[in-house]
């Protein structure tokens, strides 16, 4: 179990922290727990899979902890635990990037579902970031003219329309399109569009 990155719990309430630890360990998660935000930040922030933080804590509270974690490591998903009457603060946490918030008291299954959802969102975000990075790397291989042709293709123009707009022959557009597909490792026009969009390329740019 310890081979996997741990779910890290930060809560000054010893009983609450122990209860959450037992829930997670029963679901086969590796777990670390800390009584304060400072204790967590002094440990290996980059080794955590997910952070579960109480909103109200002495010293650095959950919101401040989330801001510091985001500054250090944006890809770490955060689940905020909030008490009655603190939903407005929990919403602030969500707006600041928290994956979820839970109001006390909450069911154990709800808590586990929240953690799993946070992990899933983080994995999806990392996958998307990797796709964007790969797409941008591929785009650097295109010449300025190829980029112009790609812009128009992504904008929905046919080869003939692209030729008319750029003042070149349809045959030349076909040649450029073939070169673009090779460089972007695309098998179809839809692949070209996906790569261009992932790289942040927009029609007319």
* pTM of the predicted protein model: 0.66
Cα-Cα-Cα-Cα dihedral sign, residues 89, 92, 98, 99: positive
Taking only the tens place, the pLDDT of each residue in 111-151 is 999 999 999 988 888 788 888 889 999 999 999 999 999 99
100-103 β-sheet, strand order: 31-34, 7-10, 50-54, 78-82, 100-103
According to the model, what pLDDT value does residue 3 have? Answer: 60
d(CA 103, CA 199): 39
The least confident of 82-86, 156-160, 184-188 is 82-86
**Residue 16 binned pLDDT confidence (cut-offs 50, 70, 90):** very high
pLDDT tens across 84-122, in order? 667 778 778 888 888 888 888 888 999 999 999 999 988
**Structural tokens at position 200:** 């942040």
Residue keyed to tokens 């070209």: 192
Helices (H), 81-107: 87-95
Torsion over CA: 12, 105, 20, 53 (sign): negative
Q: Which domains does the chain possess?
A: 7-133 (3.40.50.2300), 141-198 (1.10.10.10)
């Amino acid at each position: 179990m310890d081979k996997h990155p741990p779910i890290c719990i930060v809560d000054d309430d010893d009983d609450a922290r122990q209860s959450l630890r037992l829930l997670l360990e029963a679901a086969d998660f590796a777990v670390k727990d800390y009584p304060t935000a400072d204790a967590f930040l002094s440990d290996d922030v980059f080794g955590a899979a997910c952070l579960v933080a109480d909103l109200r804590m002495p010293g650095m509270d959950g919101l401040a902890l989330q801001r510091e974690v985001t500054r250090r490591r944006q890809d770490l998903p955060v689940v905020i635990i909030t008490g009655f009457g603190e939903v407005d603060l929990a919403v602030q946490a969500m707006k600041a990037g928290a994956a979820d918030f839970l109001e006390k008291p909450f069911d154990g299954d709800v808590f586990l579902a929240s953690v799993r959802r946070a992990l899933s969102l983080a994995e999806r975000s990392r996958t998307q970031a990797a796709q964007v990075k790969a797409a941008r790397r591929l785009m650097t291989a295109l010449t300025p003219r190829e980029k112009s042709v790609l812009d128009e293709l992504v904008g929905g123009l046919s080869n003939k329309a692209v030729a008319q707009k750029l003042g070149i022959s349809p045959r030349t557009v076909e040649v450029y399109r073939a070169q673009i597909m090779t460089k972007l490792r695309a098998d179809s026009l839809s692949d070209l569009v996906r790569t261009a969009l992932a790289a942040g390329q927009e029609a007319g740019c």
